[in-house]
Structure 1
């Protein structure tokens, strides 16, 4: 379970960073800008993904190793 949480945390971290890269450099990266209902809110969604990643890493760290 710990490894699954770490993997999900890594994916959320990656997508959050790629969303911020897209916002500040206009590179076409990440999945955040491709989701239709997030139009105009990509920056907030990217920050939320970074917070989610931190929470997932914290939960994974508190779990016992399998």
Structure 2
């Protein structure tokens, strides 16, 4: 379970950062800009994904391995 939380946290962190990079540098990377209902809210979605990633990392650290 700990490894799953870490992987999900890593994916959320990567997608959140790529969403912010896309919004501020207009590189076409990440999945946030491809989701239609987030049109206009990409910055908020990127920040939410980064915060979610840190919450998942904290939850993974609180779990025992094995």
* Residue 63 (structure 1) aligns with: 63
Q: How does 1:15-26 map to 2 (within 5 A)?
A: 15-26=15-26
String of CA shifts for 1:30-59, please: whole Å, max 9, x gaps.
Answer: 000000000000000000000000000000
CA distance in 2 between partners of 1:24 and 1:40 (Å): 13
Long gaps (5+) in structure 2: none
TM-score (norm 1): 0.99
Runs of 4+ in 1 over 6 A off after TM superposition: none
Offset of 1:9 from its aligned partner? 0.0
Taking only aligned residues, the RMSD between alpha carbons, in angstroms, comes to 0.3
String of CA shifts for 1:12-45, please: whole Å, max 9, x gaps.
Answer: 0000000010011000000000000000000000
